[in-house]
A and B are shown apart, each in its own frame.
Chain A
Amino acid sequence: SAHRKFDDPFWEELEEVLIMADVGHQSAGKLLDRLKARVRKEKIEESEAFREMLRQELAAIFPEPKSVAVPQGPEIVLVVGVNGVGKTTTIAKLAHRAQMQGRKVLVAAGDTFRAAAIEQLGIWAKRTGADFFTKGEGADPAAVAYEAVDAALKGGHDVVFLDTAGRLHTKVDLMDELRKIKRVLGKKLPGAPHRCLLVLDATTGQNALSQTKLFNEAVTVDEIILTKLDGTSKGGIVVAIALEHNMPISFIGLGEKMEDLRPFSGEDFAKALVN
């Protein structure tokens, strides 16, 4: 196989590939430092060996999602993120997945603000066969959360996916609202929410770092779901997020249908990123 000179132009080209994939200048730099050290130490000389090492290094960055102890009663999953990233659609996908696994699912319309957000989730509930909880437009989202848990306890549901309105992470009052939702859930059911999912759009650039930081500060994010990877964006920003926040990615979104969800694989992701 081809020999390769690991000279400055080579590293510059790789930096370009990483930055163009939204990995970011700083994280690309970190990654390159690691790679340079390994190339020197392991005396790597061939392109294929280097590619393999690059894929390994990238894949190793991502921590495994924590497995949640399956709780007594319903598992409560809180879904958060900025506007338009794909929260509601992702809930449909997760609900579909859980239904296929034979779990009894309730989806709750915690976005009581955006026009027709409730109707949108209602249609998805019908399509997935999940049960649907709503208190209508304008209701207090914390009250929706509280009563949805009640409904799930009564209904014998295994899992509740709570949708929330999109919000920019910089809006203090709206982030406080999320804190309140989380607090109310914990009061209603000890341990709830059992998982808090941050949905990120793969087309997002460096701003996703700020999103992750501020949503994590507000509600402690357990997992990230990366949507819209069916486009031409590489979603490289999650490399920076993994490096800075050590946050696991559980699923990726690959389309607008409820089947378009895949478990995240660091290796596949790495392959797609540098090809």
Chain B
Amino acid sequence: MFDSLADRLQSVFKKIRGHGRLDEKSVQEGLREVRLALLEADVNFKVVKDFVDRVRDRAMGQDVLGSLTPGQQVVKIVHDEMVELLGGEHLGLQLQGKTPAIIMLVGLQGSGKTTTAAKLALHLRRMKRSPYLVPADVYRPAAIDQLHTLAGQLGVPAFASTPEMKPVDICMQAREEAVRKGLDVLLVDTAGRLHIDELLMEELVAIKAAAGPQEILFVADAMTGQDAVNVAVKFDELLDLTGIVLTKMEGDARGGAALSIKSVTGKPIKFVGMGEKVSDLEVFHPDRVASRILGM
């Protein structure tokens, strides 16, 4: 996870630390390389710019450049800003309030919502909760089948939606069914949609209004490029997201989208998908990841 970004940044830091004395020019030089490393990792252009500007402002002061260990201090500034960018301690699912609790999964097409719903069901069961998988994607061919198959593999119950039903009705009926069955967390798998598809975005707003979910998780593909921020901002604007799940992180994705999405929405990254199997889900610890990226 974030390995190649880590490699890049660490070699920049080595150079910065290596300077006995740092002047403005060598800091600028170092920051140019930090900028490149972040851009190559697909961190959004504007996010990178703000990041580098903040580090530069803090690093250029006399108290840093004139200090005994300027390199060390610059690296520390980058570290602090990186922790800020990624968020602090891990924030778990917040399921207080009404029972059954409701978790909605939303995002672009193919980002990994259905798979993540199944992964979260396993995660919840391990926390001694009783999850109920709710297929609310009535559009994609065999989407309901897909979630039912995963539910079957896990031995977790799933609501018997049909493509003829309306997503809002599915959620309401599933909630009643959950109460009858004594299940305490609904995992609502919604259809993938574009943030600019007004009709389908309205549908999510309607589900939210009717079901009152505790968690609305934005599921994003770690390989996403510059547009990640536009998408995330729109979903957040309409739905007020509660968290982010980043999928397909086990490959060589540099994961800059994660930093961008967190940065523009301010919402925490809660989980990371590390494979196709239902057990391939990790809770996300921003502070640990920041330290690992920076080799500290």
Q: Which residues of A contact B (CB under 8 A)?
A: 16, 19-22, 24-25, 82-86, 113-116, 119-120, 122-124, 127, 166, 168-171, 201, 203-208, 210, 228, 230-234, 237, 256
B41 proximity list for chain A (CB < 8 A): 206
Contact across chains for A203 and B146 when beta carbons are under 8 A apart: no
19 interchain pairs (CB within 8 A)? A20-B44, A84-B221, A115-B147, A115-B150, A116-B148, A120-B142, A169-B251, A170-B251, A201-B223, A203-B224, A205-B224, A205-B256, A206-B254, A228-B108, A231-B194, A232-B227, A233-B225, A237-B225, A256-B139
Contact across chains for B45 and A20 when beta carbons are under 8 A apart: yes
CA distance A252 to B108 in the complex (A): 18
CA distance A201 to B225 in the complex (A): 10
Interface residues of B in 29-75 (CB under 8 A from A): 36, 39-42, 44-45
B225 proximity list for chain A (CB < 8 A): 22, 203-206, 233, 237
The A contact surface, by secondary structure, is loop
Contact A124:B248 (CB < 8 A) given known A205-B226, A207-B223, A231-B108: no
A234 proximity list for chain B (CB < 8 A): 227
A82 proximity list for chain B (CB < 8 A): 223, 248, 251
Cβ distance A175 to chain B, nearest Cβ, rounded Å: 12
Cβ distance B224 to chain A, nearest Cβ, rounded Å: 5
Cβ distance B163 to chain A, nearest Cβ, rounded Å: 10
Contact across chains for B45 and A203 when beta carbons are under 8 A apart: no
Contact across chains for B250 and A207 when beta carbons are under 8 A apart: no
Q: Which residues of B contact A (CB under 8 A)?
A: 36, 39-42, 44-45, 108-112, 114, 139-143, 145-150, 153, 194-196, 221, 223-228, 230-231, 248, 250-254, 256-257, 276
Contact A19:B39 (CB < 8 A) given known A168-B251, A207-B223: yes
B252 proximity list for chain A (CB < 8 A): 169-170, 207, 210
Contact across chains for A20 and B196 when beta carbons are under 8 A apart: no
Contact A168:B250 (CB < 8 A) given known A83-B276, A84-B221, A205-B225: yes
Contact across chains for B227 and A16 when beta carbons are under 8 A apart: no
Contact A21:B110 (CB < 8 A) given known A206-B254, A232-B231, A256-B139: no
A207 to chain B: closest residue by CB: B223
Contact across chains for B110 and A85 when beta carbons are under 8 A apart: yes
A19 proximity list for chain B (CB < 8 A): 39, 45, 226
The B contact surface, by secondary structure, is loop
Contact A25:B36 (CB < 8 A) given known A19-B45, A232-B231: yes
CA distance A229 to B257 in the complex (A): 18
A86 proximity list for chain B (CB < 8 A): 109-110
Contact A123:B141 (CB < 8 A) given known A16-B45, A232-B196: yes
Cβ distance A89 to chain B, nearest Cβ, rounded Å: 9
Contact across chains for A115 and B224 when beta carbons are under 8 A apart: no
Contact A84:B45 (CB < 8 A) given known A116-B146, A169-B251, A231-B196: no
Contact across chains for B149 and A116 when beta carbons are under 8 A apart: yes
CA distance A21 to B150 in the complex (A): 36
Cβ distance A209 to chain B, nearest Cβ, rounded Å: 10
B147 proximity list for chain A (CB < 8 A): 115
Contact across chains for B142 and A119 when beta carbons are under 8 A apart: yes
Cβ distance B79 to chain A, nearest Cβ, rounded Å: 23
Cβ distance A34 to chain B, nearest Cβ, rounded Å: 20
Contact across chains for B251 and A84 when beta carbons are under 8 A apart: no
CA distance A84 to B114 in the complex (A): 11
CA distance A16 to B141 in the complex (A): 39
Contact across chains for A115 and B146 when beta carbons are under 8 A apart: yes
CA distance A170 to B223 in the complex (A): 13
Q: Beyond A16-B45, A119-B145, list 11 extra A-B contacts (CB 8 Å).
A: A22-B42, A84-B109, A115-B114, A119-B146, A120-B146, A171-B251, A203-B231, A205-B226, A208-B223, A231-B108, A233-B226
Cβ distance A74 to chain B, nearest Cβ, rounded Å: 25
A203 proximity list for chain B (CB < 8 A): 108, 221, 224-225, 227-228, 231
